[in-house]
Amino acid sequence: MTSRRNATDSTPATPPDHAEAPVYDFIVVGAGSAGCVLAGRLTEDAGVRVLVLEPGTDTAGLPEAVSDPPAWMSLGETPANWGDTTVPQLAGSLPPQSAPRVMLPRGKGLGGSSSINAMVFARGHRSGYDSWGEHGAKGWTFDDLLPYFQRTETTRGGAPGRGEAGPLTVAPMAEPNPIGLACLAGAVETGRRRATDISGGLEEGFAPVDLNIVDGRRQSAADAYLTPALGRPGLRVVTGATAHRLIFEGRRCVGVEYGVQGRVSRARAVREVVLTAGAIGSAQLLLRSGVGPGQELREAGVEVFHELPGVGRNLRDHPLLTLVHRTRRTVPPARGNHGEIIGLLRSVPELDGPDLQFIFVDIPFPNPEPPVDSGFSIGISPIRPYSRGTLRITSADPYARPVLDPGYFTDERDVRTTLHGIRVAREIARSSALAVWGPEEVAPGPEVTDAASLSVYARTAYTSYCHPVGTCALGEDESSVVDSALRVRGLEGLRVADGSVIPSIPSNNTNPTVYAIAERAAAFLREGA
């Protein structure tokens, strides 16, 4: 349901003169999932003026493949993805030649990552939110977020705690791929629980997961929240607009300087500037504006305006490892997102909640060499990782790439969790439910059984699950970047309202959590909280 009409403005109308800068109530930097929510919710008030700045294209400029659910894997090679890559990941003292540089896809264009992601819509288990208050944040438990989760969605089936009137229409595939159903049966056969609503946040086990697919087409944040608001007189969306820096008067953020096609403009906000550029973009803009760790800013040639050590720290992401299988029986072509069934399990019983996610993928992913003609994969992610890393900038140049080091598998506990996941995945693959498909493991291969070899596989064969968070973490202590109301600590008129504020990554594909954070931010802004 991606709109193909060009309903946005790609050329600013004002010169780069601060005195003549147009004035809005709110400036929203970034039109990804969170930015679309804020644009839609804030302009429900007809008297509110909102400017949204998005460096990517409008929906008309996005690839046609955006709308086709099975085609999402091709979008990483298009301009709809920023094309970020991490520094070499040296976990476990890997030799430099073995250390992978990991692609870290993120969306560029209206809808942001919701326009290129795998469309999984799951909250993660409620226990994954329990640690959000460790740095003093108040009011951010799962139960606190629940009304905002509900506000985002329209679901079917009446499961406890689900929404019934939100902009996003979410549901499992009506007819999942048969190979996924066989994997689900294999999971149950080997003693794992069959959940009823794995997307809602209250259950562990395996089940078909909710997806952002409506009538066979992707539903992005732009489709659900932004497009219905584009005709409102208070909303202006400027695409192709890269935010260069924030403008301050004293300690108050009063506007944004941005560039479009080589021309620099400024806009003023009489109420607030809200950063919704994601875990990478929002932290980058703060750092370019002189807000962050002082020594790092000076090394990058940026004048320190407000020392805030937590900016760019605490970068967290989910790594995803797959066991790839060839099948004798041909797997039917995908109609959904390739991964229609997930599972949440504990690697050890004494944990307070699941720390492993499994996803059954109806193709060989990634396809090894020589390629597999017909097969499937079982994806494994340590979904509550201990490992964390950093984001840095090297200059104030707004077009320079960030230095991204997520630190995957630098904490040995994540390796141990993943090895348990491999054991479970192999049990499922050997189940009688899958026997009719004749599965044969081709990566890492049945001969790879010892812990040392599997650990090397875990540390070198993974990809990003594309869930970076944490670089502007929520809390009330000195390590926090935003307070419990999402206000940047020590400054006025400036908030962050996207995945960067997530202090501890929950056990889900994080897009639904970002939607809920943005819904809550909209409530804060409308109420003046």
**Domains of the chain with CATH codes:** 21-61+106-169+218-317+467-529 (3.50.50.60), 172-209+319-382+409-461 (3.30.410.40)
Place of tokens 């077009």: 399
Place of tokens 């073995």: 98
pLDDT score recorded for residue 91: 81
pLDDT score recorded for residue 95: 78
**Catalytic status, residue 318:** no
Question: Of the listed 135, 306, 338, 467, which one is catalytic?
Answer: 467
What sign has the CA pseudo-torsion 189, 193, 197, 198? negative
- Running DSSP on this structure, what letter comes out for residue 223? I
Give the CA distances from residue 403 to residues 271, 277, 389, 392, 522, in Å, rounded to whole numbers and listed in that order: 32, 16, 11, 5, 31
Q: Which of 436, 467, 484, 193 is nearest to 330 (CA)?
A: 436
pLDDT score recorded for residue 8: 54
pLDDT score recorded for residue 12: 38
- 125: amino acid identity, one letter: H
Q: Which of 418, 422, 411 is nearest to 448 (CA)?
A: 422
pLDDT score recorded for residue 97: 76
pLDDT score recorded for residue 401: 95
List, run by run, the mean pLDDT of 10-residue segments along the chain (529 residues): 41 45 96 98 97 96 96 96 95 80 96 98 97 95 98 93 97 97 98 98 98 98 98 97 98 98 97 98 98 97 98 98 98 97 98 98 95 97 97 97 97 97 98 98 97 95 97 96 98 98 97 98 92
CA angle centred on 528, ends 305 and 220, rounded to 5°: 85
Strands (E), 30-185: 50-54, 153-154, 168-169
In the structure encoding, which two tokens stand for residue 246, read together? 């924030």
